[in-house]
Amino acid sequence: MPWWKKIKRDPTETFRTASQYGGNMTPLRFAVLGCGFWSQYQIAAWRELEGVELVAVYNRTRAKAEKVARQFSVARVYDDAEALFATETLDFVDIITDVDTHATFTALAARAGVPVICQKPMAPTLAMAESMVQTCRAAGVPFMIHENFRWQTPLRKVKHLLEEGTLGKPFRARILFNSSFPVFDNQPFLRDLKQFILTDVGSHILDVARFLFGEARTLYCRTQRVNPTIQGEDVATVVMEMGDGVTVSCEMSYASRLEHERFPETYLLIECGGGSLELGPDCWIRLTTTEGTHAKRYPPPYYHWADPRYALIHASIVPCNADLLRALRTGTLPETSGEDNLQTVRLIYAAYDSAVADTVVLLDRQRNAAG
Q: How far is CA 72 from the centre of its chain?
A: 24
In contact, 60 and 80? CB cutoff 8 Å: no
| E strand intervals along the chain | 28-33, 52-58, 76-78, 92-95, 116-119, 143-146, 170-178, 216-224, 235-242, 246-253, 267-272, 275-280, 284-289, 292-297, 361-362
Rule CB under 6 A: is residue 183 a binding residue for ligand 89V? yes
- Residue 177 · residue 251 · CB < 8 Å: yes
Please tell me whether residue 313 binds ligand 89V under the rule CB under 6 A: yes
Task: State the minimum distance, in angstroms, from the CB of residue 122 to ligand 89V.
Answer: 12
Per CB under 6 A, 115 contacts ligand 89V: no
The reply on whether position 175 binds ligand 89V by CB under 6 A is: no
By CB atoms closer than 10 A (0-12, 13-18, 19+), residue 268 is buried
Strands 284-289 and 275-280: antiparallel
Q: Which is nearer to ligand 89V, 89 or 229 (CB)?
A: 229
Shortest Å, Cβ 183 to ligand 89V: 5
Residues 191-230 binding ligand 89V (CB under 6 A) are 200-201
Closer Cβ to ligand 89V, 121 or 142, answer by number: 121
Closer to ligand 89V at the Cβ: 7 or 183?
183
* Dist CA 303 CA 285 (whole Å): 22
Q: Which is nearer to ligand 89V, 146 or 329 (CB)?
A: 146
Count of residues touching ligand 89V (by CB under 6 A): 6
Identity of the residue, 141 or 320, whose beta carbon is nearer to ligand 89V in the bound complex = 320
Contact criterion met (CB below 8 Å) for 154 and 279:
yes
Instruction: State the Cα–Cα distance between residues 12 and 90, nearest whole angstrom.
Output: 25
Q: How far is the CB of 178 from ligand 89V (least distance, A)?
A: 13
Residue 240 backbone dihedrals phi, psi, to 5 degrees: -130, 150
Shortest distance, position 313 Cβ to ligand 89V, whole Å: 5
* Cα separation of the two ends of the chain: 32
| Least CB distance to ligand 89V at residue 240 (A) | 20
Q: Does residue 250 touch ligand 89V according to CB under 6 A?
A: no
Binding residue (CB under 6 A) for ligand 89V from 202, 264, 275, 334:
264
Least gap, CB of 206 to ligand 89V (angstroms): 13
Is the preceding omega at residue 170 within 30 degrees of 0, hence cis? no
Judged by beta carbon, residue 227 or residue 289, the one nearer ligand 89V is 227
| Residues 325 and 318 sit within 8 Å (Cβ to Cβ) | no
Minimum distance from residue 297 beta carbon to ligand 89V (Å): 22
Residues engaged in binding ligand 89V (CB under 6 A) = 183, 187, 200-201, 264, 313
